[in-house]
A and B are shown apart, each in its own frame.
Chain A
């Protein structure tokens, strides 16, 4: 499968993520959209990694080519997991305090 498909797919997912973050007011949905963006990047990393691996099949020591991209994906997943734990905790606290998960309800960054 050509790499373009992957690129277009992950761009679409990433843009959906951005659009979701920008337009939605529900904190949980915003949170999910952030995850979406992270995973779009992950997808791209894995796709490029496979592409490089395939391109270097005939090279002498090709066994490790492209593995850095996949390693990076693990890092991102770990960070994302940490972020989820913190983010969900924030949302829980927010709900406890305001009985709502509306982001605009908390526009206290002003003043």
Chain B
């Protein structure tokens, strides 16, 4: 097991090193082959690990070496493999591989060395994420956590010649840093209270922590999750992260990065279950985010922006699930979301590829007949995310909503409203893109073509997964078995059995499905016939401008900080610090110029100085006792 885990993690890293260091020597074929092979092998190894665990191999912690070893604190570099991390391994490497495969065709327009750089980053991304989910303590998780932050920065700013993209990359990085600070403080707090940060030790000692400690730690961890998983108020980086190449968006949104926060909280479920207050906060923040970003998504016209806000919204659902104690539901939704969101993003990439980097859906339309495979798979993804049975999204979303209903019916009501909006904006996107008439230029229409096989195969695989992925968690009421829940039961404390009556549960499902269906029908009928999307007015305009949140942040945080920075730069730095430092320099300069005059080159002068000095030294030597006394009595 020890070697197997090392292989899983190190293969992508080797891919990163080879592709990164020899990026000027590789060809398109060699680079893509290397990158895909490493991830595929990693996936196979993960599948073996997954299989071993389902066959009954017990979860274990394997230690490689001491990462930090001092008297008071010992942090081992250890991996913990259990059912939760095994599942994430599969998602990361599996979806990661499909995205690699897709990228190998999608990125063909780049120069060879940038192509290699891209794949090197992609491999590093997978490596960091694997480190994050495999780490056996919060420190190792934090290494991976920072690693994915770095990779997202590198990939969002992949086209670094465009300044806007660089700003987006910086924004992502800074937003993440804010969250990371919370995470880091939580780790420090844990170490201060418990002496180490190993999961096993922390969870075994939860009862030794005071309620205040637990609440503070969980809240700080949640701040970290907010940054990484794009929750209000730290979500604005995720839509901007669309600056990166489309497969990167798929990777960030589906397999890596944003799921880190969910994973972290699901991993810490013992802590969270002990902190009721934090759970409320998590649920409320999650729900607010889900609704808020859903409203924004309704009016976006950029195909990727719609998907981005949809991700933020779905992540909100996952946090709602975590907040109401449905950890399994949240992880389940991570999985199904990974399938259909990767599918949707890759489908969007295929559309953008066909449209020659046109992302505005107002200029698309009627792509159904030009891109048949993309169309079908995209449609399946839309149905899955809208929560129509028996597609995967239905089961996971329903599980979260049922748990929310149990906690508080208001959560459920708002959640269903969000689900309706989800269905609406997804089908608005689908209808404007694929139905109706083509609205672009003739030139674009002429060049429309279905994408190559390397791009359509991942789409098909993901579409199949999106359709059937939900069957691992069929709720009991529908006569199924929650395989995923059973699988994860060793890691996640099984939730108290659903106290809902079967009738209530049928009703909840019925309502959410009915609402989603109505939203879909309305969206399709409304947008498929329209020749042109009209400009938004009133509330629509506010939504199109994302509630002006970016502007708000600019006004209350960025601009004051800039002003403060300007003040420090012009006043404190220029006249204060620079004046002081330069003053010292000038003074020393002046002094040395004066002292330089002593060195005249006149031998006589030197001898005179020597004589005078000898006389002074003799005087002091003879009279040192008296001088000392004189100094002591007169001066002190």
Interface, chain A (partner B; CB < 8 A)? 18, 21-23, 25, 103-104, 106-111
Contact = CB atoms under 8 A, between A and B. Distances in A.
A109 B603 contact: yes
B614 to A, nearest CB: 10
B56 interface: no
Contact of B604 (A103, A108, A110): A103
B603 A103 contact: yes
B606 A109 contact: yes
Contacts of B603: 103-104, 106-107, 109
Contact of B608 (A22, A103, A106, A108): A22
A21 B606 CA distance: 11
Contact of A110 (B599, B607, B611): B599
Interface string B118-160: 0000000000000000000000000000000000000000000
Contacts of B606: 109
B210 interface: no
Contacts of A21: 604, 607
Q: How large is the interface on B (under 10, 10 to 19, 20 to 34, 35 or more residues)?
A: 10 to 19
A21 B607 CA distance: 8
7 contacts: A25-B604, A104-B603, A107-B601, A107-B603, A110-B599, A110-B600, A110-B601
Nearest to A18: B611
B306 to A, nearest CB: 77
Contacts of A103: 603-604
Nearest to B600: A110
* CB-based closest 6 A-B pairs: A110-B601, A107-B601, A109-B601, A22-B608, A107-B602, A103-B603
B570 to A, nearest CB: 43
A111 B600 CA distance: 9
Interface in B600-620: 600-604, 606-608, 611
Contacts of A107: 600-603
Given A21-B604, A104-B604, A108-B601, 12 more contacts: A21-B607, A22-B607, A25-B604, A103-B603, A103-B604, A107-B600, A107-B602, A107-B603, A109-B599, A110-B600, A110-B601, A111-B601
Nearest to A107: B601
A23 B600 CA distance: 16
Nearest to B599: A110
B612 to A, nearest CB: 10
Give the interface centre of B602, B603, B608 by most chain A CB atoms within 10 Å.
B603
A107 B599 CA distance: 11
A22 B601 contact: no
Interface string B592-636: 000000011111101110010000000000000000000000000
